[in-house]
Amino acid sequence: MPRMIVFANRKGGCGKTTTAVNVAHALALRNRKVLLLDADPQAHASISLGYPSDSLTSGIYDLLTGASSPADVIIPTRLKKLSLIPASRHLTAFEMDYSSRSGCESLLAEKLSDTVFNDLSVFDYLIIDPPPTVGLLTVSALVAAKEVFIPMPMHFLAMEGLAEMMRLIYTVNAAWNPALRMAGIIPTFYNKQTKLARELGEEIRTNFGEDRLLPAIRMNVSLAEAPGYGQTVLEYAPASAGAKDYKKLALHIERMGRV
């Protein structure tokens, strides 16, 4: 089975999808086979790879509801070694229809299990991008994953969001997934010149340990522009600070798996 990773934060605007997409591509560039699973009804990860949600015939919604087989929902992207299970806006209906059903939190994990999803064994990484909410889809992603990375803007209110995210991880760990662990916090929109960014970095080190503070992603306009062209930043602006930062982050995450 691949390393099962989720990039999650219950607050939007933290760089979660940008991180999931660009880490996935950076790992693929390192000759790792990566499957990116877009579990967000907004389908921003799919759009960032050039797949508008209204152009897709099947995806994670069809897998979860049993309408499509696992083999039918994997799309080989134009990027070598990077495949996608796309999202669609139908996921909103899934969350509404299934939230009251018993055991639905484990449905995604069951669909991705090695006994059901034999094709998954060919991948080195499965990266899940859930919505920025505390709903069924986010909980399901945490139940299915083994490692949680939390992208976090370096401003004061984000610390409250981090505390809420940690409470959610503890809840999922206790109720459904004892193997789940918080693997690291990724500073996003980072500006090392600001006093607040330095202070928050120290607070994270104090509360979680030095090894849980991962390489930062600097503020960079290319990161905001790239999705508009259906590209990762490593395609759109390979020499940019954003591309360099995500290559560094991907290397760090890869090395963590060797420990």
pLDDT of residue 115: 46
pLDDT of residue 188: 95
pLDDT of residue 25: 98
pLDDT of residue 56: 67
Each residue's pLDDT tens digit, 90-142:
888 888 899 888 889 999 999 888 545 566 678 999 999 999 988 999 999 99
Residue 108 tokens read as 């995604």
Write a three-state SS string for 44-80.
HHHHHCCCCHHHCCCCHHHHHHCCCCHHHHCEECCCC
Phi first, then psi, for residue 105 (nearest 5°) are -65, -25
Q: Is 38 helix (H, G, I), strand (E, B) or coil?
A: strand
pLDDT of residue 116: 52
The residues of the chain scoring below 70 in pLDDT are 53, 55-57, 114-120, 259
pLDDT of residue 38: 96
User: 98, exposed or middle or buried, with CB in 10 Å at 0-12, 13-18, 19+?
Assistant: middle
Query: Where are the domains positioned within the chain?
Result: 3-256
Each residue's pLDDT tens digit, 147-162:
999 999 988 888 888 9
Q: Which of 6, 5, 11 is nearest to 188 (CA)?
A: 11
CATH fold of 3-256 reads: Rossmann fold (3.40.50)
